[in-house]
Structure 1
Amino acid sequence: MNRDLKQLQSALGICFHNPSLLRQAFTHSSYVNENRVAGSKDNERLEFLGDAVLELTVSEYLYDTFPHRTEGELTKLRASIVCEPSLVLFAEQLDFGSYVLLGKGEELTGGRTRPALLADVFESFVGALYLDQGLEAVKVFLRQHVFPKLSGEGKPQILDYKTQLQEHTQQHNMGLLEYRIVEERGPAHEKEFIAEVKMGDKLLGQGCGRSKKEAEQQAAAQALLSLNVKVR
């Protein structure tokens, strides 16, 4: 069940001048399709805008924070911050999934914790905040809730999600976990790995990273989300 967006504004310390923009940011297309409420809009256009705003604000942060990094290095750092697994973790840490308006079908199939949906909602929120209060408000939000989650190297802090997932599955006698690198993308100097974690034939999570280890950690993080386990 979705929670009141007033609670979210209170938790974030942000008051939207136009509450309908905030509601739109958390409205999935399945909700609009099922309810047909007059004037109701889904968040897909806001997601498009938020993606561009994130690219700009994260680029500026990295440019200012790492004056001696090359263009290629900054590009890699930005990619690690704005990629889906990172956005999912940011959204999960802010409990964005609890506020999404979903259609009944999407709700029943676990849409509230679906990684792609959470990443889209995070981008949509950024887009809505930009339209409502401008670029500076977005920068303040990111300084409070995203940039502190980055390591001294500028990358999202990778916690030991594999250990947490292992502990959870063993505690509940769920079975054995299997990690696999399913794809490698990009040239040798900018390699990106895609990993998945399975339990038997069931896919629990998938993640990407600049190393096999990072990709497996991101896959474990998504598996924790799919199992409704709060990541530590």
Structure 2
Amino acid sequence: MVDDRLDLAESLTGIDFKNKDLLKTALTHPSFSFESGTLEMYERLEFLGDAVLGLVVTDYIYKAYPHFSEGELAKLRASVISGEVLAEVAAEVELGKCILMGKGVEQMGGRFRKSILADALEAVIGAAYLDQGLETTARFVLQLLEPRIVQQAETKQWTDFKSRLQEYTMQEMNATPTYEIVSESGPSHERNFRAVVLVSGESYGEGAGTSKKRAEQAAAREALKRLGVA
């Protein structure tokens, strides 16, 4: 079973690991270590992978967007290496199928849990760095994240639309926007939310997202567009 998961991980990532033990450690959740009595778990590799991920993304956006200020670069980087984005990317490549975890965690939906997916992806990045070096690891990271980097850079989705909307409505309308979650859908590990933003009781925008915060940000963005200040 373990070898099958490692083979699948190599197939999904496109990386042929020289040291299979590194990959195994990167995919070992602490619950599996506890149940199997081994000392291996992915936390140290996750720590390393987080640093490698930050370096690769920082290097890429610094060179790709010379017109961005330091503040914009920092916001862009934060928006694409967030736990939520990493979990989405890990889910897209079906990394959850490869993770070694305890039966209890698995039965509670651990293979779909965002925090576990994000942690495991960072651990795999750390393992790839040790096994393959920075160049190969950078290609792997950018293969996963470059489309999101480009999208975020073009749309500037890292902007705090809620703060911008509140500043505008307080100054121009003497009112504070409020938000309501009007619907929730999807399974527990893949929820979708729809929010509406109200100003003085009137709806100014709706938005959807995979979290309440994202849905509210999307609604605020629509409100800013309607008000002509987006």
User: In 2, Cα distance between the equivalents of 1:145 and 1:126?
Assistant: 11
Alignment of 1:65-144 (within 5 A): 65-144=64-143
Aligned twin of 2:22: 21
What is the TM-score with the length of structure 1 in the denominator?
Answer: 0.67
Measure how far apart 1:123 and its partner are: 0.6
Q: 1:13 to 1:29 in 2, by over 3 A?
A: same
Deviation track 1:77-121 (CA, whole Å, cap 9, x = no partner) reads 000011111101110111100101011111111111111111101
Aligned twin of 1:221: none
User: In 2, Cα distance between the equivalents of 1:80 and 1:33?
Assistant: 34
Alignment of 1:145-160 (within 5 A): 145-154=144-153
Measure how far apart 1:140 and its partner are: 1.1
What is the TM-score with the length of structure 2 in the denominator?
Answer: 0.68
Deviation track 1:162-183 (CA, whole Å, cap 9, x = no partner) reads xxx85x68xxxxxx966499xx
Letter of the 2:22 counterpart: L
Give 3-state SS (helix, strand or coil) of 2:41's partner. Answer: coil
Contact 1:84 1:116 in 2 (8 A): yes
Letter of the 2:72 counterpart: E
Contact 1:86 1:156 in 2 (8 A): no
Letter of the 1:85 counterpart: E
Structure 1 unaligned runs (5+)? 159-164, 170-175, 182-194, 198-204, 217-232
Q: 1:214 to 1:62 in 2, by over 3 A?
A: farther
Deviation track 1:135-154 (CA, whole Å, cap 9, x = no partner) reads 11111112322213433543
Structure 2 unaligned runs (5+)? 158-183, 198-206, 222-230
Letter of the 2:45 counterpart: L
Q: Does 90-99 or 6-15 show the bigger shift? A: 6-15
> Which structure's CA Rg is the greater one?
2
User: In 2, Cα distance between the equivalents of 1:43 and 1:9?
Assistant: 16
Give 3-state SS (helix, strand or coil) of 2:150's partner. Answer: coil
